[in-house]
Amino acid sequence: MKIAIIGANGDMGKFLTRFLSLLGEVKPISRNVSTKEDWREAWTADVIWLSIPRDAIDGLLEGKKLDKRQLMVDICSIKRNLSEVIKKTGASHLSLHPLHGPNIPLNGQRWAVIDGSRRSERNQNAKRTLEFLKDQGIQLLGAKSEDYHDFMLGLTLSVPELLTVVIEELKNEYIKNCKEIKPTRSEMNKWSVPASNAMYGACHHVINSTAYWLRKEILCNAHKDLLKSSRKAFLRLSKLTDQDIKKKFKEQERDIKTLSPEERIKIRLWIENWFSDATKSIFMEKDYYKTKPEIAIQFQENISEIFPASTVKLRVGIHGIKGCFTHESILRFCEEAKVDETKLDLKFLVTAENVLRELDEGKIDRGIFAMANSGSGAYVTSMDPMGKYTYKVMAVYGMKIMQCLLSYPSEKIENINEVFGHPQAVSQCKRTLAEKYPYLKITYGKDDDDTALCAKRIAEGELPRTTATLASQVAAKLYNLNILSYNMHHDPFNTTTFLIVKKR
């Protein structure tokens, strides 16, 4: 199957380009980038996806004559009788709409299918396309007509879009009436409880994540003139008395009680979980562009005891290989404790077992190993040797683990099709991977596939250039790898505890 994607440079277009490559040969088409030859080839494709604004489609298709065996797939948020425009081309038509956009896992996506366009299922390309979507775990929801779809979207997209303007006006008027200085959005985020966080957070998300042209399309071109309906509603609102408000509250309570107890619990938990995730995201925002992970020293002996000054370098055994997070942690520890790390002879011993054994045998002077992670718990491979050897704990410290998505130097995210990594690293990033890159194959390595070792294998060509991995910024610098994305971990409090030990 040959597939053309018109509008391939947009967020949805980029997603489709990667996603549909699993179905057939994809030809991405972008305005001001693609050549005339590219466009000629696109119009001969078996399936042509339209990932462009609704207003741009009429002009694009004017005068185009296609074969009925060809399939045109539109994913417009507002349809406005688009079927009539596509019908004139002679192509079969499948009308879809990814309701949540591209940035959630495939098995959590729901796509609307206009029932009228299902007649195109007799077209083999349409049948294969729908089967492919289902096979990827996408849920398909029927909409009985284009008008009904636009009504659905009016309630679920256009009304919330309008509320961003309404809430802003209400806030401004209330602040003015209270004679207070308008709080910043950052201050509002800190004050918010789950209910207000859901409302203000949703407004923030709409403004921040939706392109201007799409916001304008969803609201100003909403089905059956939403703005006209809203003006009537606001006129009624201006005349409501206190008693009317109380009556409305009672009506709302009765309406909510029509939901089953299970549905009400589900909604409450959804909001509370959303609030928890949103709060974590606020914490993560301040770290997003940091290139230096935070470190918290929980306990330590006198620094001169841990790393005494000497003409001979102190031999320090590291749990992991060069570039691992333990390596990054000791560099950060030295920085915070004002220790000259060039005075240390770092020996990369891979496992905690090796570190404690060589410490016991007197082959090293100090050992550093990871003991536990805030999300995944104690490291079993560290716990076992900790019980076998005798040692003195000199320091305990925690470091935020900032997982980075790394690739071969010349590779961009568009060329990556797989993420391979240490199982702990993948587990710490699986939600972010599913949300940002749902089309990528995720492969869990084995326990001895150290994060830095995976980075080294990419640098040395042992892994394909189309494979990325998860590792530290130190590993990226050591092996000259490209950092595709910082802070891939989904938990902003993702912290590992390390011990510095010496032989007792």
pLDDT (tens digit per residue) in 11-35: 889 889 988 988 999 999 998 889 9
Confidence band, pLDDT 50/70/90 cuts, at residue 380: confident
> Do 328 and 205 lie in a common domain?
no
| Same domain membership, residue 310 and residue 179 | no
Q: Is the alpha carbon torsion for 423, 428, 431, 435 positive or negative?
A: negative
Q: CA-CA distance, 317 to 233, in Å (whole number)?
A: 71
Mean pLDDT of the chain: 88
In a domain, 184, yes or no: yes
Does residue 303 belong to any structural domain of this protein? yes
Q: Are 55 and 217 in contact (CB under 8 A)?
A: yes
Q: With a cut of 90, say whether residue 501 has pLDDT above it.
A: yes
- For residue 249, being part of any structural domain is answered with no
Is 456 in the same domain as 387?
no
Supply the CATH number for residue 71's domain: 3.40.50.720
448 found inside a domain: yes
Do both 131 and 173 map to the same domain? Answer: no
Taking each helix axis from N to C terminus, what angle separates 194-209 and 159-178, rounded to the nearest 10 degrees? Answer: 120
Give the span between the Cα atoms of 437 and 426, in whole angstroms. 13
In a domain, 268, yes or no: no
Res 161 pLDDT > 80 = yes
Residues 17 and 111 in one domain: yes
pLDDT bucket at 94, cuts 50 / 70 / 90: very high
**Which pLDDT does position 281 carry in this prediction?**
59
Q: With respect to residue 258, please indicate whether it lies within any of the assigned structural domains.
A: no
Q: What is the mean pLDDT of residues 408-422?
A: 91
Is 427 part of a structural domain of the chain? yes
Backbone angles phi, psi at 29, to 5 degrees: -125, 125
**Do residues 383 and 414 share a domain?**
no
Domain boundary residue among 202, 220, 239? Answer: 239
User: Are residues 387 and 356 part of one domain?
Assistant: yes
Please tell me the predicted confidence (pLDDT) of residue 265.
83
CATH at residue 425: 3.40.190.10
| Torsion (CA) 155, 159, 161, 163 in degrees, nearest 10 | -150
Do residues 78 and 100 share a domain?
yes
Q: Across the beta sheet with 139-143, what order do the strands follow? A: 25-29, 2-6, 47-50, 71-74, 92-98, 110-114, 139-143
Encode burial over 446-478: b for 16+ CB neighbours within 10 A, e otherwise.
eeebbbbbbbbbbbeeebeeebbbbbbbbbbeb
Residue 428 sits in the same domain as residue 396: no
Same domain, 398 and 448: no
Q: Are residues 15 and 112 in the same domain?
A: yes
3-state secondary structure of 49: strand
| 110-114/139-143 β-pairing | parallel
pLDDT tier, 373 (very low <50, low <70, confident <90, very high otherwise): confident
Taking the whole predicted model, whether its pTM rises above 0.75 is answered as: no
Among 193, 222, 239, the domain-final residue is: 239
290 vs 334, higher pLDDT: 334
Domain count, the chain: 4
364 and 413 part of one domain: no
- Rounded CA gap, 472 and 190, in Å? 30
Residues 87, 111: Cα–Cα separation, whole Å? 22
Give, as one character, the DSSP assignment of residue 155. Answer: I
- 3 vs 125: CA distance, rounded Å: 10
- Flag whether pLDDT at 269 surpasses 80: no
* Structural domain boundaries, residue 23: 2-144
Of the ranges 269-278, 294-303, 352-361, the best mean pLDDT one: 352-361
What size, in residues, is the chain? 504
User: Which pair of tokens denotes residue 443?
Assistant: 């492969």
Q: Among 206, 239, 272, give the residue marking a domain's end.
A: 239
User: How far, in Å, CA of 57 to CA of 88, rounded?
Assistant: 12
- Asked whether residue 287 is assigned to any structural domain, the reply reads no
C-alpha–C-alpha distance, residues 487 and 285, integer Å: 10
Q: Which of 489, 419, 448 is nearest to 349 (CA)?
A: 448
